């Protein structure tokens, strides 16, 4: 059977293995142990990334011809993604209750994982879209896993935005593929820069990817979904899944278009706005969600400015995944020592995200600032203040609001998460010379250290003030709550299900109007009229002919 | 032998039809053997022809019916596309129908007309000339009526009447168009484009409109679609046949023939009638979806969904670029697979759990997992989730739309996707997430009902997953376009 598969089998195996793991819950004998498939599913990807993501695969008969090859910076991103998913899977296997609901989660978790890895491996537009749809839509099951009212409501917002994003994305990709007369991602990107409808396509793509990447103002699903999803689900959402939107923009946004400026503007708006708005939250996971919006804002700005965001994304993914998982570890820390150890570890990882000198985060920031215009570099430095502030607030909320419950093995949970945190702190050191052009001693120079240190110190000082006078609490979802008004009483307004909000309600009424002409069509007097009309028409035509 | 093949294929349905009418009600075994045997034989013949035609062969046979009236049967790639769909789904629907009806009354009448209906569809697909097409088109109209009216209750009779009231003016329009055209050009064969120079452009536009009016009733183009949602009063196998294989597909197939083999894509473009037809198809796509959103009966929601989805085929044909045409043609198969899956499942819900309305779907996933999985796959395919069938159609239609300079179609496709998601996802949510009512009952211990649904659902995934292989419907549709209609 020559021609079924060309090239190396490894990129394909990286994607197929999680899909196989996803089938485990369907086998009755394995069902109760199925969650242990979760930490195993990303292992081939981890090994693949450690080897530098080598090789390409072609499967010409699959869908419209699947081509796999790691994207630029793919080894870093695949490695980060696989690491976050592995440790989150470990925590999920240790903490989730066994039952049919977890079985469903396991299946869709693995599908989401395959999609998440797939966006970093796709060589053609259709494969990319397929992977993106998998990571985007299957992740809905991570959000609604608990089936609480809040989870289902967040799920509704999530799936609505995800489907809209998918639709926008497909339209944009179709325009690009047609203009390029090719399904190759590189060809499509080049064609988008010059195609007559290129700007329409780019606008659609930015909407589609922006929703996923948490770009302000399309980020509203993030702060709603994170607090309600199970802890490991939040970790992969925030650490890895949002990066799918980022890589989409990296892959498809042609260099030197006006859209880059828009991304920079929206990115910095999110970087500062979300970090400050996050201070109005009380749930530590909601605070972290806003921190993710803020950090993604920085990365979007980097992409808009034409910088590589992969190194930064590597650190953020590992660190943010670890911080989310630490919420779960804290909940399992019953003794005082255990609690203290967990909080200290959370503090160290948080400081790394803020960019404290000598941490992985400081290296990531130093690397990206080097290529930026002075104003943008200054903004990145300044964002250290707000990041420190929101993460300080997170640590405070973590300490006061998470009550330990007797539960699973704290030490085992901590071990996995500590590995992830250590990777966030140390990996940038190991990868420094391979991924940046800067000299090896650059992070240790006094100037660099000073640039990294003062925002953190200033942020810590502000955080101390903030703890004394916390801002008023606001519901998560910011912009979404602005246009949601109290639902009118169902007794006076039509159907008993009073779900739609006023703007939607007006739309619904418009839809109902279509019933009238439809009813007329189904009355048989109309059909009779049609018959008579046809005869008359024929007579006229006969006379004319 | 090779010349006889098209006739043989026709006979595999006609003979069972003819014999079944005269079988007593209680000869179940003989009747079932006859119908299934015909269906299997037909499928085998078609597979043989697919191989031969793929290699470049063409079968043609002319049967003189009356002086000056020749029934021309011709097997080309396009004909085979439609015939292989109808043969495959006919076999599955027959299995399903046998299990569905069990020992209910009037089965000989039902299966007789059922086979006749498929014979008409086959003949229509194989027709090599306009007049042959018309004959089978009419046979289809008439043989479908008893199927819609089968239950003989008020709703069925009303639906059947509505069907005739829509179909007959359509037939009149079609006949008129044919006479008008052929009086100027002589008999129209699909292989030889007629010389349209004798007619002035406005006459040609009027003829085109009459053609579309004629086939548009069956293709359920808005505002000619009123009969289709009403016809869901018919039993589930009939709905499956009506929506996926026979009637609406005959209409859509007619549109393709009229555009490509009667007028020719270039003439359609020169006359400026392609864009209005594309607009009409777009309106139908959106209107059907908007109406589907408001239906509380499962089958009615599916019926409006058919109105919407069949116009994808019309849209592809009307846009007339190679990609759009591939998208439209492949959707002929894809929509058939997806929609028949959904109707099979709707029938199972009704028959095994007494569920007709969407509220009844709550929690059914746990009790009827196979059926519900199939239903979910069909629905996700309709939405166009990759890598399923609907996605491939939509991808090609979208590429084609941009190619011929009609990017507004992308907005229509996007709107249709969102609306499809809006009326299908809540059903899936009910199936899998909402708790079942306390008095809910039902199971799916009916392999002959569930089996066909599983096969078509697997097909829905398979044709998308393996779209790039040469033997997929997409491969065949591309073959049709490159061989027959490449500009």
For A14-54, write each residue's pLDDT tens digit: 999 999 999 999 998 888 889 999 999 999 999 999 998 88
Report CB contact under 8 Å: A63, B394: no
Mean pLDDT of B390-399: 94
Q: Which of A117, A512, A534, A123 is CA-nearest to residue B177?
A: A534
Mean pLDDT of B259-287: 92
Q: Which of A539, A372, A432, A523 is CA-nearest to residue B158?
A: A523
Determine the residue of chain A that is closest to B408 in CA distance: A171
User: Which of A385-389, A405-409, B75-79 shows the lowest per-residue confidence on average (mean pLDDT)?
Assistant: A405-409
Q: Which of B218, B247, B230 is CA-nearest to residue B299?
A: B230
Q: Is the bond leading into B344 cis (omega within 30 degrees of zero)? A: no
The answer to whether residue A423 scores a pLDDT higher than 90 is yes
The answer to whether residue A545 scores a pLDDT higher than 60 is no
- Mutation test of the interface with chain A: which of B410, B412, B434, B475, choosing the one with the most A Cβ atoms within 10 A? B410
State the sign of the Cα–Cα–Cα–Cα dihedral A305, A307, A310, A311. negative
Report CB contact under 8 Å: A522, B162: yes
Report CB contact under 8 Å: A130, B386: yes
pLDDT at B454: 96
Please, which pLDDT band fits residue A530 given cuts at 50, 70 and 90?
low
Report CB contact under 8 Å: B407, A163: no
With an 8 Å Cβ cutoff, is A516 touching chain B?
no
Distance CA A470, CA A143 (A): 29
CA distance readout (Å), B7 to A143, B60, B111, B125, B130:
58, 10, 21, 12, 18
Report CB contact under 8 Å: B467, A63: yes
Report CB contact under 8 Å: A178, B226: no
Closest Cβ–Cβ partner in B180, B402, B466 for A61: B466
**What is the signed CA dihedral for A427, A430, A433, A434, rounded to 10 degrees?**
-70
Q: Across the A/B interface, how many CB contacts are shorter than 8 Å? A: 123
Closest Cβ–Cβ partner in A171, A514, A531 for B165: A531
pLDDT at A448: 87
CA distance readout (Å), B308 to B36, B312, B362, B426, B459:
32, 7, 26, 18, 21
B69 bridge partner residues:
B66
**Which residues on A lie below 8 Å from B294 (Cβ)?**
511-512, 514-515
Taking every pair of Cα atoms in chain B, the longest distance, rounded to a whole number of angstroms, is 71
B61 bridge partner residues:
B73
pLDDT at A499: 44
Phi/psi for B189 (5° steps) reads -105, 145
Report CB contact under 8 Å: A522, B230: yes
Alpha helices per DSSP H over B154-232: 154-185, 201-218, 227-230
pLDDT at A361: 92
Tokens 């008008």 sit at which residue? Answer: B180
The answer to whether residue A213 scores a pLDDT higher than 90 is yes
Neighbour tally for A508: CB within 10 Å: 16
The answer to whether residue A106 scores a pLDDT higher than 90 is yes
The answer to whether residue B279 scores a pLDDT higher than 80 is yes
Minimum distance, in Å, between the CA of residue B461 and any CA atom of chain A: 10
Report domain extents, chain B: 287-487
Distance CA B363, CA B87 (A): 35
User: Which of A203-217, A340-354, A465-479 shows the lowest per-residue confidence on average (mean pLDDT)?
Assistant: A465-479
Please, which pLDDT band fits residue A494 given cuts at 50, 70 and 90?
very low
pLDDT at B4: 81
pLDDT in tens, A62-82: 888 888 998 888 899 999 999
Neighbour tally for A139: CB within 10 Å: 27
pLDDT in tens, B25-69: 888 888 889 999 999 999 999 998 888 888 888 888 888 877 778
> What are the contacts of B55-61 at 24+ separation with CB within 8 A?
B57/B2, B59/B2, B59/B3, B59/B5, B59/B6, B60/B3, B60/B6, B60/B128, B61/B3, B61/B4, B61/B6, B61/B7
Structure tokens at A311: 């190194």
Share of chain A above pLDDT 90, in %: 55
Q: Which of A138, A347, A321 is CA-nearest to residue A238?
A: A321
With an 8 Å Cβ cutoff, is A148 touching chain B?
no
Q: Which of B262, B153, B258 is CA-nearest to residue B213?
A: B258
**Which residues on B lie below 8 Å from A533 (Cβ)?**
169
Mean pLDDT of B88-114: 90
Distance CA A119, CA A70 (A): 9
Closest Cβ–Cβ partner in B223, B293, B410 for A171: B410
How far apart, in Å, do the first and last CA atoms of chain B sit?
34
Mean pLDDT of chain A: 87
Report domain extents, chain A: 6-477
pLDDT in tens, A122-137: 999 999 999 999 999 9
Length of chain A as a residue count: 545
pLDDT in tens, B315-327: 999 998 899 999 9
**Which residues on A lie below 8 Å from B386 (Cβ)?**
63, 126, 129-130, 133
With an 8 Å Cβ cutoff, is A526 touching chain B?
yes
pLDDT in tens, B310-365: 999 999 999 988 999 999 999 999 999 999 999 999 999 998 998 999 999 998 98
Q: Is the bond leading into A217 cis (omega within 30 degrees of zero)? A: yes
The answer to whether residue A490 scores a pLDDT higher than 80 is no
**pTM to 2 decimals?**
0.91
- A478 within 8 A of A410, measured Cβ to Cβ: no
Closest Cβ–Cβ partner in B323, B421, B469 for A61: B469
**Which residues on A lie below 8 Å from B467 (Cβ)?**
63-64
């Amino acid at each position: 059977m020559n021609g079924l598969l060309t090239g190396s089998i490894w990129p394909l195996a990286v994607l197929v293995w999680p899909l196989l793991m996803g089938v485990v819950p369907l086998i009755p004998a394995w069902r109760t142990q199925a969650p242990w498939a979760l930490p195993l599913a990303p292992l081939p990807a981890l090994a693949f990334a450690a080897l530098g993501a080598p090789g390409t695969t072609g499967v010409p008969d699959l869908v419209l011809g699947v081509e796999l090859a790691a994207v630029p910076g793919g080894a870093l991103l695949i490695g980060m993604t696989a690491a976050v998913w592995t440790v989150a899977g470990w925590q999920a296997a240790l903490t989730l209750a066994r039952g049919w609901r977890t079985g469903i989660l396991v299946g869709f978790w693995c599908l989401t994982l395959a999609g998440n890895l797939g966006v970093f491996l796709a060589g053609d537009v259709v494969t990319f879209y397929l992977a993106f749809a998998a990571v985007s839509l299957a992740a809905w099951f991570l959000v609604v896993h608990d089936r609480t009212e809040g989870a289902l409501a967040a799920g509704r917002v999530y799936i609505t935005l995800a489907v809209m994003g998918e639709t926008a994305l497909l339209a944009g990709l179709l325009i690009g593929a047609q203009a390029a007369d090719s399904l190759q991602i590189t060809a499509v990107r080049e064609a988008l820069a010059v195609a007559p409808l290129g700007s329409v396509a780019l606008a659609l793509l930015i909407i589609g990817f922006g929703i996923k990447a948490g770009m302000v103002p399309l980020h509203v699903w993030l702060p709603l979904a994170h607090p309600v999803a199970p802890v490991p689900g939040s970790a992969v959402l925030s650490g890895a899944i949002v990066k799918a939107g980022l890589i989409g923009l990296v892959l498809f946004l042609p260099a030197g278009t006006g859209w880059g400026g828009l991304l920079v503007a929206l990115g910095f708006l999110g970087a500062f706005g979300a970090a400050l708005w996050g201070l109005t939250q009380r749930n530590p996971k909601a605070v972290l969600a806003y921190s993710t919006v803020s950090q993604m804002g920085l990365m979007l700005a980097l992409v808009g400015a034409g910088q590589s965001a992969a190194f930064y994304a590597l650190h953020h993914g590992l660190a943010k995944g670890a911080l989310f998982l630490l919420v779960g570890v804290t909940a399992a820390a019953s003794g005082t020592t255990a609690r203290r150890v967990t909080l200290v570890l959370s503090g160290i990882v948080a400081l790394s995200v803020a960019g404290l000198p000598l941490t992985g985060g400081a290296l990531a920031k130093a690397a990206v600032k080097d290529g930026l215009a002075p104003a943008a570099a200054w903004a990145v430095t300044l964002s250290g203040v707000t990041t420190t502030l929101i993460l300080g607030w997170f640590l405070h909320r973590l300490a006061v609001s998470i009550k330990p419950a007797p539960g699973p093995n704290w030490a085992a949970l901590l071990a996995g998460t500590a590995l992830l945190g250590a990777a966030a702190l140390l990996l940038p050191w190991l990868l420094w010379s391979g991924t940046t052009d800067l000299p090896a001693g650059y992070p240790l120079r006094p100037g660099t250290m000073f640039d990294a240190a003062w925002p953190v110190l200033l942020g810590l000082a502000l955080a101390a003030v903030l703890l004394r006078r916390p801002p008023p609490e606001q519901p998560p979802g910011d912009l979404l709550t602005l246009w949601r008004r109290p639902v009118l009483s169902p007794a006076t307004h039509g159907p008993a299900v009073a779900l739609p909000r006023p703007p939607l309600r007006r739309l619904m009424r418009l839809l109902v109007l279509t019933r009238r002409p439809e009813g007329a069509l189904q009355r048989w007097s109309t059909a009779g009229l049609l018959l008579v009309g046809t005869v008359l028409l024929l007579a006229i035509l006969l006379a004319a002919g | 032998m090779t010349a006889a093949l098209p006739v043989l294929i026709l006979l595999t349905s006609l003979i069972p039809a003819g014999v079944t009418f005269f079988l007593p009600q209680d000869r179940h075994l003989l009747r079932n053997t006859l119908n299934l045997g015909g269906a299997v034989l037909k499928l085998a013949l078609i597979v043989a022809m697919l191989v031969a035609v793929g290699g470049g062969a063409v079968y043609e046979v002319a049967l003189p019916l009356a002086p000056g009236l020749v029934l021309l049967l011709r097997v080309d790639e396009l004909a085979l596309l439609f015939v292989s769909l109808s043969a495959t789904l006919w076999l599955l629907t027959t299995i399903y129908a046998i299990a569905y009806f069990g020992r209910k009354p009037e089965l000989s009448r039902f299966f007789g007309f059922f086979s006749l209906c498929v014979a008409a569809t086959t003949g229509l697909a194989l027709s090599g000339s306009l007049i042959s097409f018309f004959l089978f088109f009419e046979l289809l109209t008439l043989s479908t009526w008893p199927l819609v009216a089968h239950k003989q209750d008020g709703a069925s009779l009303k639906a059947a009447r509505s069907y005739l009231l829509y179909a007959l003016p359509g037939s009149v329009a079609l006949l008129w168009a044919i006479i008008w055209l052929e009086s100027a050009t002589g008999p129209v064969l699909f292989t030889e484009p007629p010389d349209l120079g004798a007619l002035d452009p406005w006459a040609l536009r009027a003829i085109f409109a009459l053609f579309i009016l004629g086939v548009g009733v069956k293709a359920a183009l808005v505002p000619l679609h009123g009969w289709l949602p009403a016809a869901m009063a018919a039993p589930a196998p009939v709905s499956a046949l009506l929506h996926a294989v026979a009637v609406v597909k005959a209409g859509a197939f007619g549109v393709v023939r009229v555009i490509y083999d009667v007028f020719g894509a270039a003439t359609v473009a020169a006359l400026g009638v392609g864009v209005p037809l594309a607009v009409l198809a777009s309106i139908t796509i959106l209107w059907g979806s908007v109406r589907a959103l408001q239906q509380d009966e499962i089958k009615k929601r599916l019926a409006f969904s058919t109105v919407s989805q069949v116009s994808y085929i019309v849209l592809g044909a009307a846009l007339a670029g190679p990609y759009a045409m591939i998208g439209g043609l492949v959707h002929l198969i894809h929509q058939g697979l997806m929609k028949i899956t959904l109707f099979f499942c709707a029938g199972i819900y009704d028959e095994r759990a007494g569920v007709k309305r969407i509220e009844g779907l709550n929690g059914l996933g746990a009790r009827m997992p196979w059926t519900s999985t199939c239903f979910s796959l069909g629905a996700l395919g309709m939405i166009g989730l990759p890598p399923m069938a609907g996605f491939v159609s939509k991808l090609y239609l979208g590429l084609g739309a941009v190619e011929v300079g009609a990017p507004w179609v992308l907005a229509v496709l996007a709107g249709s996707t969102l609306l499809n998601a809006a009326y299908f996802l809540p059903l899936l949510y009910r199936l899998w997430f909402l708790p079942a009512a306390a008095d809910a009952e039902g199971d799916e211990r009916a392999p002959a009902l569930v089996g066909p649904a599983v096969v078509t659902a697997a097909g829905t995934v398979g044709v998308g997953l393996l779209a790039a292989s040469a033997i997929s419907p997409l491969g065949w549709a591309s073959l049709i376009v490159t061989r027959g209609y490449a500009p």
